[in-house]
Structure 1
Amino acid sequence: MEAKKYKWFVLIIMSVSELMVMSLWFSASTIAPELEPVWGISGLGTLIVTLMVQIGFVLGALISATLGLADKVNPRKLFTFSSIMSAIFTLLFVLLYRHFLIEMVLMLSTGIMMAGVYPVAVLIVSSWFPTRRGLALGIVIAGLTLGTALPHIILDLPFITEWRALMEFSSLLSILGGAMVLFALHDDKNQIKAPKFKWDTIKQIIKNKPVMLANFGYFGHMWELYAMWTWIPIFLLSSFAFYYTGSRLLFITGIASFSIIGLSGVTGSVLGG
């Protein structure tokens, strides 16, 4: 396949794989309310689970940057390893669901592994798109957005009859997504290499006011974004409960949540790119 055509093939595979793997991000948050009675907590399950994944992602990103993993390890293999490990931690979540503290450690670990998925996908796609990179990354981020919303639509599938099935199905998607990247793609000879991590760089960044303002803006954006993604399904469920009950209530809530988070996110990401 010609290089010009192959890079679009890379973009498609990476975006679809990203979508599949990122279905794990909110899978546990989606079903956390069902496990609150088992854990002995009330109204905090979704919040705590979401927080643990987020903290794990931040820790994973810091560890990866400090060790320079994206340069020392083949990006495709790192993506696949992270995808499979995320799936394993999620499956352990299903097996050990009665143990709250263990579950939180597993969600933290899942978040850490996710740091080897999204940033690495961005690295791989950036290498193949020296031009039109904005559009390419917009499409990758669209895959991420759609993936985070995927649990809400998975719950509406006829063969997903309980929370365990959602977690297991999302884990399967993650494994398949990682395998696609490993076996369907080959490495770019002009792979972008990140600069070596230096502690002095942190001081330089902190002293750079425009960069720090941009960082604070991004931090605030991500804080409100994930808060909204966590809250909107709960809000919709409570709102639709005035009009619907039972399986129809869950179905409509799932469709609405997927549309608001996923479809609108895809539109914004692609147009923004």
Structure 2
Amino acid sequence: MVILFLFSILKKQPSNAAIYYPRPLSKRHPITFPPFSLRRFIPSFSWIPRAFRVTEDEILQTNGLDALVVIRLFKFGINFFTVCSSVGLLILLPINFGGQPASSDSYRSMDSCTISNIKTGSNMLWVHFMCLWFISLYGLHLLYREYSEILVKRIQQVRNLRHRPDQFTTLVREIPVCGEHKARGCCVDHFFSKHHPYSYHSYKMLYDGKDIEDLSKQARYVYEKVQGLRKKCEGKKHGKESDECRDDLLKITGLEEKLEELS
């Protein structure tokens, strides 16, 4: 009960969102919390009935197959130990308790509830044997059923997954320049098309981030310079200023060509 109290309180705190809502956060789904008030620190149990109404398909879609397997494991334990407890309490316990006469020394001890209270050679030992076989076969049946159902759900999940190229990507470094086309990408395409024709799909060149950052800074500088010249040219209208504006337009044209090369 204390654990349920703490769970219901902590899950309502925004600072614990990364613990209780990791999957929605990873998918960037908005999570709303009640405003700061005394209500956030009062335990609530309204989530318990809703938790029992959640279907396995909803768990599979929202939390994945691993979460569903864990829940099925708890259900398996409940089903198995419920049957074991029923067999033990309704069948084995009365047989063990009545295995010895009331005058026996073990009548008032815990041994009177165990198999040691049955006489040696008694036919009641066969009841224990049959119950053991029943529980073992029932456990194997539950395991087989759980395995079959989880296997089907796993196959369905694999079929529903979209093909993601990033899961089948190979990173290649130190690529030589193709002597024929003077390009590195051409060398990659020739190599994989020749040696891996059935598994090769496409390639994409990745460059050092520092070079891209330098090019981005140069492009930004040229763009700002073009904008400055345009504003300067708009302020000039007559005479000598018109000639200067013409020179600025030529500079703008050259800078725009350079900007296209950088982009």
Given the two structures, how large is their TM-score scaled by the length of structure 2?
A: 0.25
Given the two structures, how large is their TM-score scaled by the length of structure 1?
A: 0.24
Higher helix share: 1
Say which structure, 1 or 2, has more relative contact order (CA 8 Å, 6+ apart): 1
